[in-house]
Structure 1
Amino acid sequence: MPIDRPNTKHQLLSDSAKLFDPFGWFAPVIVRVKILYQKCWLYDFNWHDLLPPTIEEEWIEVKKTLHQLEQIKIPRWASNYNSNVQLHGFSDASEEAYAAVVYLRSVDYNNEVHVTLLAAKTKVAPVRQNSIPRLELKAAELLAKLMKQVAGPLKRFNIERYAWTDSTIVLQWLSGHPCKWDTYVANRTSLILDVLPRKHWSHVTSKNNPADCASRGISPSDLVNHPLWWTGPDSSTWNREVPDYNNSEDTLEVRKRYKTLNITVSLPVTTNVIEKQIIKQRSSLIAQLNLSRIDGS
């Protein structure tokens, strides 16, 4: 990719469109380009104006090291038919983007473990400010959709599916019934649980979460030999630990429920003179109005 061309918003879009990555193997690098392009829309300049210095410096850094991705070689065959196969998906979010990544883990007859990156997907965070827990929930939703897409061609295999997130709030949202949460959370937890019920979800520490690479972005030079991204965390640490939940109702966005109180007031049978006069005047006024309508017709 030429680096001597003027770095304009138009040129940034043109160069980024040449990055073809249908399986998301280079997601940690491409998400950086997505974030840069989104930042361009926050500045009021035209298509052919030069990029702001902060964006231009990062874009030039990416272009200079992008050729190092040619060193990466990905095996076409992930497993053999005689092995025990599992799908492990990870999700994570940052203030700038959220991501999901799926690995195939197989154990052969010799008890050798093989982990292969299958697919990944990233999305930039909305320009409208969102809380980190909500972005983590959107990452979990993205993972559920990606797991469904990846597991489709593998239906003939008896594959176990596992989903991992480092957000305890998301796990607590998925542990409760969707009707318990606010509308935003309820809609997304319903979709997630339809694809991956709660029993499939587990907690992973942030340092062992490979989706963290794709939600924050890394340079091409770092991606070439990045063990956490290409093979996931050490498979011996993939224990399904249950974290402690210490989240308040405000953080969990519990649906607000309001109770209606009906009060019946009994008036005395006897009324005083003033009340009788008010009632009599009101009745006379209504009678006069009705009479005038009849005369007018």
Structure 2
Amino acid sequence: MVSLKQYNEMPTKRRVLSDVAQLYDPTGFLAPVIISGKVFIQTLWSTGISWDTPLPKDLCHIWSKFRNDLGILDKVRVPRWLGMDATNRTSLYGFCDASQKAYAAVVYARTIDNDDKANKSLLTARTKVAPLKGATIPRLELCGALLLAKTICNVRKALSLEDTSVHLLTDSSIVLSWLRKQPVMLKPYIANRVRQIQQLTSLDLWHYVRSAQNPADCASRGVTPSELLGHHLWWSGPDWLRQKTIPFDQAPELQADERITMQSEERSRVLTFASSIRLQLITRRIDGQHIPLAQRFSSIKRLVRTTAIVLRWLPRYRHFRHHLVTAPEMDNALELLIRIDQSSAFPQDLRCLGEATNLSSSSPPYSHLTPT
């Protein structure tokens, strides 16, 4: 399965990249091993080593050990029959996980014959290297969940299993909490991925699994070839897949640090603030009628500038005391005007979003939040 030419010279970045590219594994059976090679390439890029410069001794030792152990993978044997036929019941189980190095998704097929005997098989796995900067573990866990959602859709389409039951599992309580929220309540990075997952999968498909029973854990952290050979959790999945009925674990309550992480990824709630000043600062009473400030200007630029000047009188914005209106002030004013207009046009919808409840199917924004 793995055959790499032996070299006598010191390895270089070009040679390392060539060797990793030769590890052809389209199904992902060897993902826990190959991800270590991908992570090593990322390490080489971060060091700034040129293409044909010999690797430093420490990196050379790590790579030589990894490369020499690859021959063990020739002993890997994978059953080709998945146990699927017209009389057996088939279901798919997907797992995802993330570490500082990478995130991964793995899918298993579970078939039950007429004698209620369960058979489980590894179908496919996918891994991606984590970015070097700006990625927290909760964000990477969410990326792993999105990778799993895409993978399970591809598997169902490739095997014509669109009507097969599916269960998706993660060991991140934060990810499960994010998936229950409306994307508009979250910051763009989280919202974009949550929206994609919600479009690809249904919320009731997602469950919690303990880290010790999550086979995607080894694919996100990497294992040696010798460890992969006898890795029962990777090749067969958790033991409870053999049970006739599977009781999924209850997700634990979020810890204090996890709640802080959740709050840091939510959009700032300016709606209450906007409502409180709408009638006080940006409207004018004329003959008993409230005239919105937006109706008193024919130019959006003048409207935003005037609103920015008005906001200078509020305690929240008193740090803006420049003679000229600055770009941040203009941005704050424009955001406030948009939120005020939204609160006037969609009061019921915003109330539902604030209470984390589902929007009405007759709501105008509903069509933009649901897949077409």
Q: Structure 1 vs Structure 2: percent identity of aligned residues?
A: 39
Distance in 1 between the 2:161 and 2:123 partners?
17
**Cross-structure match for 2:117:** 112
Instruction: Specify the alignment match of 1:270 in structure 2.
Output: none
Q: Deviations over 1:239-277 (max 9, x none)?
A: 2222133242543411112132142688xxxxxxxxxxx
The residue that corresponds to 1:295 in the other structure is none
Deviations along 1:116-146, one digit per CA (max 9) or x if unpaired, are 0010000000122311000000000000000
Moved segments of 4+, more than 4 Å: none
Amino acid at match of 1:254: E
Name the Cα RMSD after superposition: 1.9
Check 1:27–1:250 CA distance in 2 against 1; reply closer, same or farther (3 A cut).
Answer: closer
1:14 is displaced (CA, Å) by 1.2
Task: Give 1:1-297 correspondences, 5 Å limit.
Answer: 1=4, 2=6, 4-81=8-85, 82-155=87-160, 158-234=163-239, 235=241, 236=243, 238-246=246-254, 247-248=258-259, 250-252=261-263, 253-258=265-270, 259-260=273-274, 261-262=277-278, 263=281
Preserved CA contact (<8 Å) 2:156 2:162: no
**Residue-by-residue CA offset, 1:67-90 (whole Å, 9 max, x unaligned):** 111111112211131111010000
Decide whether aligned partners of structure 1 residues 177 and 18 sit closer, same or farther in structure 2, where only a CA change above 3 A counts.
Answer: same
What corresponds to 1:277 in structure 2?
A: none
Shift of the 157–245 alpha-carbon distance from structure 1 to 2, 3 Å rule, reads: same
CA contact (8 A) 1:3 1:60 kept: no
TM-score by length of 1: 0.85
Change (3 A) 1:44 1:155: closer
Contact 2:210/2:249, CA 8 A, preserved across alignment:
no
Alpha-carbon distance between aligned partners in 1 of 2:7 and 2:109, rounded to the nearest angstrom: 37
> Structure 2, unaligned stretches of length 5 or more?
286-372
Aligned length: 267
- Residues 1:78 and 1:57: Cα distance change in structure 2 (over 3 Å): same
User: 1:241, 1:165 → 2: CA distance?
Assistant: 11
Cα distance in 2 for residues equivalent to 1:199 and 1:177 = 15
The structure number with the bigger radius of gyration is 1
> Does the 8 Å CA contact 2:120/2:237 hold for their aligned counterparts?
yes
- What is the CA–CA distance in structure 1 between the aligned matches of 2:153 and 2:98, rounded to whole Å? 20
- Cα distance in 2, alignment partners of residues 69 and 205 from structure 1: 28
- How many angstroms apart in 2 are the aligned matches of 1:156 and 1:243? 28
Give the gaps of 5 or more residues in structure 1: 267-297
Q: Which residue of 2 aligns with 1:285?
A: none
Tell me: higher relative CO, structure 1 or 2? Use CA pairs within 8 A at least 6 residues apart. Answer: 1
Distance in 2 of aligned mates of 1:216 and 1:58: 16
Deviates more, 1:9-18 or 1:53-62: 53-62
Q: CA deviation at 1:4?
A: 3.3
1:189-241 Cα deviation digits (max 9, x unpaired): 11111111110000000010000010000000111111000010112495222
Contact 1:85 1:106 in 2 (8 A): yes
